[in-house]
Amino acid sequence: MCIIFFKFDPRPVPKNAYRFILAANRDEFYNRPSKLADFWGNNNEILSGELVTHFLTGDMDSLSYLKKVSTEGHLYNGFNLLAADLSTTKGDVVCYYGNRGQPEPVVLAPGTYGLSNALLETPWRKLCFGKQLFMEVVKQSEALPKDTLVTHLLGVLNNEEPQLPDPAIEDQGREYVQPILSKYAAVCVRCATYGTRTNTIILVDADGHVTFTERSMLDKDASCWETNTYEFTLQS
């Protein structure tokens, strides 16, 4: 039951503002094998933890790639896919496709969005609650030191307040979710064997400088975490 909040504004912004801010949780079983995000590729030019290799190593723009994916969407279980072209010279484009929604991908208008285990902007209570917390932090982003901004965004991602009642979550999970509904209905899911294993923060400033912060659970222990930060500049 992963969750993502992101805001983008490709228009010219002050030097101390961010054109793209993303905060995301990856939720899964603690004992599932997993690797931390790292640089890979022929020249270590890609930073990733999920193997979406066809887009990252290809030369298709985000909309063209999602259109290609959409032609095969019916072959897979439900999924959501976000793809973006962030360029300092051509402008920023963010696209979305969910194979349980519209047949064609869409180019998103600048703004703030939330995504969980449903289509983009499906108003689950936990999503609406977390999005509001995210927006409150983003409003302060120009005035906050970068480290403080990252800390505040991590605070949003680790909020364990259950947002109930929420019939949408109950309907989706039914018998499986019901016994642990109060855990699943929070931005940060924390169950005995399943829950939030990774927090990811991505900041892109006006000059295309990227700060990628990943906080990951170690040894299946919810009290033991490792944080790694990478900084680099986007290629135009």
pLDDT in tens, 77-115: 889 999 999 986 778 999 999 999 999 999 999 999 999
What confidence category does residue 213 fall into, taking pLDDT thresholds of 50, 70 and 90?
very high
Distance CA 163, CA 3 (A): 14
Average pLDDT over residues 6-14: 84
Average pLDDT over residues 185-208: 94
What pLDDT does 23 receive?
Answer: 98
Average pLDDT over residues 171-199: 83
Which one is predicted more confidently, 166 or 4?
A: 4
Distance CA 154, CA 141 (A): 14
**Residue 139 phi, psi (nearest 5):** -60, -25
Average pLDDT over residues 31-51: 80
- Read off the amino acid at residue 8: F
- Are 116 and 125 within 8 A, CB to CB? no
What is this structure's pTM?
0.93
Distance CA 205, CA 212 (A): 12
Distance CA 43, CA 21 (A): 26
* Structure tokens that stand for 76 in this block: 């897979």
What confidence category does residue 52 fall into, taking pLDDT thresholds of 50, 70 and 90?
confident
What pLDDT does 48 receive?
Answer: 79
Distance CA 163, CA 137 (A): 19
> Per-residue pLDDT tens for 156-180?
999 999 998 888 877 766 666 666 7
| Per-residue DSSP letter, 35 | -
Percent of the residues in the chain that have a pLDDT greater than 90, as a whole number: 63
What pLDDT does 171 receive?
Answer: 75
- 189's CB contacts (< 8 A; 6+ apart) are 1, 25, 27, 183, 195, 196
What pLDDT does 175 receive?
Answer: 65
Distance CA 135, CA 43 (A): 36
Average pLDDT of the chain to the nearest whole number: 90
Distance CA 68, CA 62 (A): 10
Q: Which of 204, 5, 6 is nearest to 87 (CA)?
A: 204
What pLDDT does 134 receive?
Answer: 98
Distance CA 231, CA 229 (A): 7
